């Protein structure tokens, strides 16, 4: 079973770590022996190692982010490896669902071990211990928050794994898992240091602000969960709003004046004035490909005919693997979003072909010159790194939560509590105000959202605003399954049962004679019929096979 394997790995890591540090024999009678921490430097190395789980290939570098990116309705792919997620044909044996489960539990097991070791250590100073424990509680709470949203109720493992551990835990209820999430994140809020006191060399690690922002999102999500099952979510919306206010009123973070600066790898450290927690990646000269410490987002999202935008050894090109549905591009460039600077930054519809003089265009641009070439689907343009080292070894971080999302959390929570009050509009419009600043030349668009909306219609505005502001950052599926449409269905059900079927199920087509676009607005094979399976992912098959107490989600027929 996976936990037995984890137990063996932990022992191996500890023994290896001690050997490397001291080059002397140390007898460990259990994997939690205090003797392997002989200084704060030892503890610091172990703490940093816990964060490394988030950036490994099975997690945000590749497999987990693939799951998040392709489980939404706003993207398309023709790449066979990614289509099962979009088209909901993922097998329970697939790494798409198995790797996130396994990696989050490895991180949880690691934090459990370190929580016990640090708590019992006499060589760690009080201030270091308090801060380190806070960060570990953040990582464990964050892990369970992801697991409960992905799979529903999951087993709660809260102690170090030893030879006498129960390796056949049952699934806890969703309610119990959320209780643990809140408890862990509250401890993180109490013990982590504020962002303004964080040393520069600790950038990317959890702070008090990160704990508060994650609590706001977790309480908002749990309020949604209660509303969807016809329970009262108001208590949790109030807590979501309170924690969002804690972040905002701390004045520790600010919206960058230029939205484009968030995605400039040369300004990435400055982005953390707005980024409250992110998974950090770095160009890695000691390794290449998936094992490297670099990220893959630029290569995955950029065109295969656009050169000098990634670390690919073939002229810095992309791969064409991750692209956007045309209907989503239309949504984000019309109506409220007409003239929105964020669309200029976020979407790519025109670029130089292979770094030469020929231009390529995508939907919905039309040719301005006879030698232009046509692609069908727009690209996401947030991730670029011309100085990357290989295709999967780029600098781009993944921003888990930004201040802009915290403003939207506050707006949404206030709306769920009291309808679209002036407080809700003010928080919402913070994003519109920043968008109008553009790149220093102020615009009149997008206009502020004005009063007069119903509670349900304000919620839809928040959903669309999140769609544009956070596109490509791993939020869309979570929003689809937690937020409600006007009639009470989840947004996921509404979009796959009503909205997407209303679109012509054909690809866009370009008529070179009339210089116009025709056809539909989707990549048709990615659009499938609504199913309750879209609201949760299956428990990995290996967990069912090895744990007699593990039950499968009912939608998957077990």
CB 547 within 8 A of CB 1: yes
Strand partners, 399: 278
Q: What local confidence, expressed as pLDDT, does residue 370 receive? A: 80
Alpha helices in 438-550 (DSSP H): 455-469, 476-482, 491-494, 541-546
Return all residues near 14 (Cβ < 8 A) that are at least 6 apart.
28, 31, 33, 36
Return all residues near 411 (Cβ < 8 A) that are at least 6 apart.
424, 425, 427, 428, 462
DSSP code string of 15-49: HHHHHHHH-S----SSTT-GGG--SHHHHHHHHHH
Query: Residue 115, SS3?
Result: helix
Q: What local confidence, expressed as pLDDT, does residue 20 receive? A: 44
CA 50 to chain centre: 18
Q: From 210, 203, 221, 219, select the one nearest 188 (Cα to Cα).
A: 210
CB 184 within 8 A of CB 247: no
pLDDT tens-place values along the chain, 558 residues long: 444 444 434 444 444 444 444 444 443 334 444 557 889 999 999 999 999 999 999 999 999 999 999 999 999 999 999 999 999 999 999 999 999 999 999 999 999 999 999 999 999 989 999 999 999 999 999 999 999 999 999 999 999 988 888 889 999 999 999 999 999 999 999 999 999 999 999 999 999 999 999 999 999 999 999 999 999 999 999 999 999 999 999 999 999 999 999 999 999 999 999 999 999 999 999 999 899 999 999 999 999 999 999 999 999 999 999 999 999 999 999 999 999 999 999 999 999 999 998 999 999 999 988 889 999 999 999 999 999 999 999 999 999 999 999 999 999 999 999 999 999 999 999 999 999 999 999 999 999 999 999 999 999 999 999 999 999 999 999 999 999 999 999 999 999 999 999 999 899 999 999 999 999 999 999 989 999 999 999 999 999 999 999 999 998 864
Residue 356 structure tokens = 């030469």
Pairing between β-strand 508-511 and β-strand 350-352 as defined by DSSP bridges: unpaired
Pairing between β-strand 508-511 and β-strand 516-519 as defined by DSSP bridges: antiparallel
Pairing between β-strand 373-374 and β-strand 359-361 as defined by DSSP bridges: parallel
CB 296 within 8 A of CB 55: no
Q: What local confidence, expressed as pLDDT, does residue 557 receive? A: 66
Residue pLDDT, tens place only, 230-269: 999 999 999 999 999 999 999 999 999 999 999 999 999 9
CA gap 377, 522 in Å, rounded: 9
Strand partners, 350: 361
Cis peptide before 359 (omega within 30 of 0): no
CA gap 417, 233 in Å, rounded: 9
How many other C-beta atoms are found inside a 10 Å radius of the C-beta of residue 530?
A: 17
Q: Residue 343 is inside which H or E element, if any?
A: helix 341-346
Alpha helices in 23-120 (DSSP H): 40-51, 63-70, 83-86, 95-120
Which residue ranges form the domains of the chain, and what is each CATH number? 2-192+533-556 (1.25.40.390), 193-278+397-484 (1.25.40.900)
Say how many residues make up the chain: 558
Q: Measure CA of the first residue to CA of the last residue in the chain; give whole Å.
A: 20
Strand partners, 278: 399
Please work out, in degrees rounded to the nearest 5, the angle formed at the alpha carbon of residue 71 by the alpha carbons of 479 and 258: 60
């Amino acid at each position: 079973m996976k936990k037995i394997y984890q137990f063996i790995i932990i022992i191996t890591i500890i023994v290896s770590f001690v050997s490397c540090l001291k080059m002397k024999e140390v007898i460990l009678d259990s994997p939690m022996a205090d003797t392997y921490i002989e200084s704060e430097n030892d503890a610091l190395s172990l703490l940093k190692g816990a964060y490394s789980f988030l950036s490994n290939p099975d997690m945000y570098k590749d497999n987990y982010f693939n799951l998040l990116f392709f489980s939404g309705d706003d993207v398309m792919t023709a790449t066979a490896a990614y289509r099962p997620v979009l088209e909901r044909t993922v097998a329970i044996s697939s790494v798409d669902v198995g790797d996130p489960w396994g990696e989050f539990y490895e991180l949880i097991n690691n934090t459990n071990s370190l929580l016990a070791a640090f708590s019992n250590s006499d060589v760690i100073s009080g201030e270091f211990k308090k801060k380190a424990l806070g960060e570990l509680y953040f990582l464990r709470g964050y892990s369970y928050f992801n697991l409960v949203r992905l799979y529903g109720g999951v087993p709660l493992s809260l102690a170090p794994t030893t030879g006498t551990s129960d390796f056949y835990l049952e699934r806890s209820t969703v309610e119990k898992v959320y209780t643990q999430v809140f408890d862990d994140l509250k401890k993180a809020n109490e013990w982590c240091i504020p962002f303004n006191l964080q040393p520069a060399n600790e950038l990317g690690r959890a702070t008090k602000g990160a704990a508060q922002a994650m609590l706001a999102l977790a309480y908002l999500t749990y309020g949604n969960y209660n509303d969807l099952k016809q329970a009262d979510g108001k208590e949790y919306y109030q807590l979501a709003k309170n924690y969002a206010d804690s972040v905002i009123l701390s004045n520790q973070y600010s919206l960058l004046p230029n939205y484009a600066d968030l995605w400039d790898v040369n300004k990435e450290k400055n982005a953390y004035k707005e980024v409250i927690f992110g998974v950090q990646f770095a160009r890695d000269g000691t390794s290449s490909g998936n094992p490297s410490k670099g990220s893959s987002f630029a290569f995955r999202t950029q065109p295969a005919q656009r050169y000098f935008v990634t670390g690919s050894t073939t002229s810095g090109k992309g791969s064409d693997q991750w692209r956007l549905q045309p209907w989503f591009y239309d949504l984000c460039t019309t109506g409220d979003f007409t003239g929105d600077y964020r669309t200029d930054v976020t979407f790519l519809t025109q670029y130089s072909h292979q770094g030469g003089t020929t231009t390529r265009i995508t939907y919905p641009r039309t040719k301005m010159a006879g030698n232009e070439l046509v692609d069908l689907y727009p690209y996401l343009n947030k991730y670029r790194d011309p100085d990357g080292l290989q295709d999967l070894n780029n600098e781009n971080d993944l921003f888990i939560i930004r201040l802009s999302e915290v403003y939207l959390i506050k707006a949404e929570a206030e709306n769920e509590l009291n309808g679209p009050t002036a407080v809700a509009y003010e928080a919402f419009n913070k994003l519109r105000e920043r968008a109008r600043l553009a790149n220093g030349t102020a615009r009149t668009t997008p206009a502020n959202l004005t009063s007069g909306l119903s509670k349900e219609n304000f919620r839809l505005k928040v959903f669309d605003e999140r769609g544009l502001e956070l596109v490509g950052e791993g939020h869309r599926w979570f929003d689809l399954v937690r937020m409600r449409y006007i009639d009470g269905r989840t947004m996921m059900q509404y979009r796959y049962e009503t909205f997407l079927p209303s679109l012509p199920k054909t690809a866009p087509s370009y008529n070179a004679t009339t210089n116009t676009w025709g056809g539909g607005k989707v990549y048709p094979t990615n659009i499938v019929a609504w199913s309750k399976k879209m609201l949760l992912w299956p428990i990995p098959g290996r967990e069912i096979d090895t744990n007699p107490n593990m039950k499968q989600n009912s939608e998957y027929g077990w």
